[in-house]
Structure 1
Amino acid sequence: MTTVLTHATIYTGHEVIRDGYLRFDQQLQAVGPMSDYQPAPSDEARIDLTGQTVVPGFIDVHSHGGYGYDAMDGNADQINAMVQQMTANEGVTTYFATTMTQSHQNIATALQAVHQAATTNPVIQGIHLEGPFVSPVFKGAQPEEYIEAPDLTAFKAWNELAGGMIKVVTYAPENPGSREFERYCLAHGIVLSVGHSNATRAEMKHSLATHVTHLYNAQRGLQHREPGVTGHALLEANLYTEMIADGFHVYPDMIKLAYELKGADRMELVTDSMRAKGMPEGTSELGGQTVIVKDKQARLTNGHLAGSVLRFPDAFKNIIQFTGCSIADAVQMSSGNQAREFNLTQKGSLTVGKDADLNVLDSDLNLQMTFSLGRLFTPARVNQ
């Protein structure tokens, strides 16, 4: 059935329509001001959204898990259940399941499971391979015993098992063999992302990467005599930078600094969430490591941050609070940039012909409902 949302403030990703309507089934059929609205001759479900805001569905390109599940569990049914929770409770309508540094067999099993899950769940549009080709100096929560230099043979086999779904790979470009690895990825449309890296600015300049994993975190930081990964990311206008906007991974003032330097066009909100998201606080697990969740923070027993329990709607609200950016800029950072960078041609904006992926927010920007390919989802616990 066709659905029409009326009298909403609509952020299309290109313009703002203050009193507008959207008509859609699985794809968007019409978007415009209410002055252009004409009721359809056939039946359609009409929802009055007076006082509410519509934005494109959120795109999370870096998330390991949530709601008790993790991509590394290697279970397609559980991955599907996890992603459905993210769609309903967080408005995530496009998702890149993210792996982590583990044994070759565990990575292979996870990739196969994600590929299988994606055959029945169109929200899953890609895979983010985080590790194992990273640096032990900035391993973060990546288990050091499995860290290695790029293994192109293994990577080719993984991408085949994944059905070509690997869209982005986090690696350390200072590792031996990185140039050959980079050339293969570029030839196969895989975005290169520097993360968990001890690279200097000079080494970064020789890299072919165009993306930086969770800016500031688990990377050689900005120093007055060595810009490192962070300084390079802030200086180079072409680099996309992920941001975990929970206020714990990065101090809010440093998020604002990145926003002032990069602008809304090169920052992408991610959650980097792990299985404990959406679950009661206490003991959890990440990559075989014990994680303690307390006060909305997930930490290993040594105190290091281990992913997050950040919900995407909170990241959306936080980026506005931390930087003073507009809702339109937040839309760019939560969907538009991801769609452009990863060539998600049917996603990222509310344009006629694109997939009907959209979120309805109240006056406080709390998520009220989500439409994914036109299918309605509502949060189980609104505003939590």
Structure 2
Amino acid sequence: MAKLIKNIDIYTGVGVVKNGFLRFSNKIEEIGEAKAFVTKGDDQVITVPKGAIIVPGFIDVHTHGGYGFDTMDADVDGLNRFMENLRREGLTSVFPTTITQTKDNIKKALVSVAEAAKNNSMIRGIHLEGPFINADMNGAQPAEYVIRPDLALFKNWQKDADGLIKLVTYAPEKSGSAFEAGLHNMGVVLSAGHTNQSYFKMNKGQTLASHVTHLYNRQSQLEGREPGVTGYGVLTPSIKVEVIADGVHVSPEMIKLAYQLKGAKNIEVITDSMRAKGQKENEVSELGGQKVIVKNGAARLENGHLAGSVLKYILAFRNIQKFTGASIEEAVLMTSVNQAREFGLNDVGSLEVGKRANFNLLNSDQDLLENFLDGDGLKAVDQK
């Protein structure tokens, strides 16, 4: 029996269907304008409020954890509970993200994600953030575990991860061409992050980085005579950039600048969330074995460094529109379509016949009402 939602505006990722209908099971079976709708007797009709809209399920390629869980816990059951909580933020595809730690701890985390992914359709990749970074730009990454890029080690980790590592944050200035070429040839996206590399070295083709990790944060900055990695991200048309749209990591004005320079097709909204997301403020948490305290919506180490975010994705979806003036269609690009295209997730990211029925039902205020994963609905609880 197929499910049916009708008389609703649908933002597909490739266009907008006004006053449309969506028929689906685990995949999208039919989508179109209401005037083309043909009743089928066995449809299960889902009633929606006036002014509601449908958008593709969100994709976060950079999240360490939340709701008391961290990827580095190497806990399969905990990871599955984390995924379930992320659905209540509108997510349907996720890259659990590691942190700079011991080689053994990273291996354990990779093995656990690979194990969970066998039975969890939300887990579509792994983001390896560190340990191949610049220790001087570590931020909340434990500097004592930073190591130089090591292709042989990475190949072993990729085996441990069953090939799921799709994105690697590293410092180009600490890397050699063999490391970059090795990852590139394996189909892994290289992302400049926690780096002090010069714009001019990046821009002269001395890197295969095609992605910039959390734009503006822990990287060489835009300056009068040195545009830095931030400049490389915003000035190079082909480069995809991540943006933490919480208004804490980056000011709304600078997010708007990136949007004006890059356009919606080259920005990917991330949360970079950590264990404390979903917990009460002023409760003590941790990241990579470091004490973290959340206050006024910001997670910080004892030294004051930001330690990831407590951002919920549905809020990021609204914020990216608020901060930049982007349309809903453009917000869909930045929260679903771009990620799917960059990482070859061909069965998600947009709402088209034959693709997985991963989408969100939002009310007229863009609050999440229900998340659909492979056609299975889950009511939203809290999005504040």
Aligned to 1:100: 99
Counterpart Cα distance in 1 of 2:139 and 2:151: 23
Say which of 202, 205, 214 aligns to 1:204: 202
Q: What is aligned with 1:122?
A: 121
Per-residue CA shift, 1:277-322, capped at 9, x if unaligned?
1111221000000001011110000111000000000100001000
Q: Does residue 14 in structure 1 map to residue 19 in structure 2? A: no
Deviations 1:49-70 (A, max 9, x none): 5310100000000000011001
SS in structure 2 of the partner of residue 47 of structure 1: coil
Q: Does the 8 Å CA contact 2:357/2:372 hold for their aligned counterparts? A: yes
Structure 1 position 39, deviation (Å): 1.5
Task: Give, in whole Å, the separation in 2 of the partners of 1:212 and 1:3.
Answer: 40
Partner of 2:143: 144
Aligned residue number for residue 55 of structure 2: 55
Question: Does the alignment pair 1:307 with 2:305?
Answer: no
- 3-state SS of paired residue (1:268): strand
Q: Is the 8 A contact 2:125 2:165 kept in 1?
A: yes
- Structure 2 residue runs of 5 or longer lacking an equivalent are none
Q: Over aligned residues, Cα RMSD in angstroms?
A: 0.9
CA distance in structure 2 between the aligned counterparts of 1:54 and 1:322, rounded to whole angstroms: 22
Distance in 2 separating the partners of 1:30 and 1:137: 52
Q: Given that residues 4 and 43 in structure 2 are in contact (C-alpha distance below 8 angstroms), is that contact kept between their aligned partners in structure 1?
A: no
Contact 1:101–1:147 under 8 Å retained in 2: yes
Q: In the TM superposition, what whole-angstrom CA distance separates every residue of 1:74-120 from its partner, at most 9, and x where no partner exists?
A: 01110011011101x10100000000100000000000000011111
1:133-282 equivalences in 2 (<5 Å): 133-177=132-176, 179-205=177-203, 206-281=206-281, 282=283
Give how far 1:378 is off.
Answer: 1.2
1:286 aligned onto 2:287: yes
Map 1:1-80 to 2 at 5 A.
1-80=1-80
Amino acid at match of 1:262: K
What secondary structure is seen at the aligned counterpart in 2 of 1:255?
helix
- Assess if the C-alpha contact under 8 Å between 1:171 and 1:194 holds in 2: yes
Equivalent residue number for residue 334 of structure 1? 335
The answer (yes or no) to whether the contact 1:6–1:50 under 8 Å persists in 2 is no
Q: Which amino acid aligns with 2:330?
A: D
| Structure 2 residue matching 1:285: 3-state secondary structure | strand
What CA deviation, in whole Å up to 9, does each residue of 1:198-218 have, x standing for no partner?
000122121111000000001
State the identity %. Answer: 50
User: What's the offset of the Cα at 1:176?
Assistant: 4.0
| Inter-partner Cα distance in structure 1 for 2:317 and 2:135 | 32
Q: How many residues align?
A: 381
> Per-residue displacement from partner, 1:222-272 (whole Å, max 9, x unpaired)?
100101100111110000000000000001000000000000000000000
Decide whether aligned partners of structure 1 residues 176 and 54 sit closer, same or farther in structure 2, where only a CA change above 3 A counts: closer
For the residue of structure 2 that corresponds to 1:134, the secondary structure is coil
- AA in 2 matched with 1:268: E
The offset of 1:9, in angstroms, is: 1.0
Partner SS, residue 174 of structure 1: helix
User: Aligned partners of 2:152, 2:183: CA distance in 1, in Å?
Assistant: 12
Which residue is equivalent to 1:368?
369
Structure 1: which amino acid aligns with 2:44?
A: E
Q: Is the 8 A contact 2:189 2:209 kept in 1?
A: yes
**How far apart, CA to CA, are the structure 2 residues paired with 1:326 and 1:42?**
36
Distance 2:310 2:132 in 1: 25
The answer on whether the counterparts of 1:173 and 1:203 sit within 8 Å (CA) in structure 2 is no
**Does the CA-based 8 Å contact 2:2-2:42 persist in structure 1?**
no
Q: Distance in 1 between matches of 2:289 and 2:275?
A: 12
SS of the equivalent of 1:81 reads helix
Question: Is the CA contact (8 Å cut-off) linking 1:19 and 1:34 kept in structure 2?
Answer: yes
For residue 272 of structure 1, give the secondary structure of its aligned residue in structure 2. coil
For residues 313-328 of structure 1, what are the structure 2 equivalents within 5 Å? Answer: 313-328=314-329
Q: What stretches of structure 1 of length at least 5 have no aligned partner?
A: none
Deviation at 1:7, TM superposition (A): 1.2
Tell me the TM-score normalized by structure 2: 0.98
Amino acid in the other structure paired with 2:33? P
Residue 41 (structure 1) shift: 3.0
8 Å contact kept, 2:245–2:320: yes
Displacement after TM superposition at 1:148 (Å): 1.2
| Distance change in 2, residues 1:176/1:91 (3 Å) | closer
Q: Which amino acid aligns with 1:149?
A: R
> Is contact 1:7–1:49 with CA below 8 Å preserved after alignment?
no
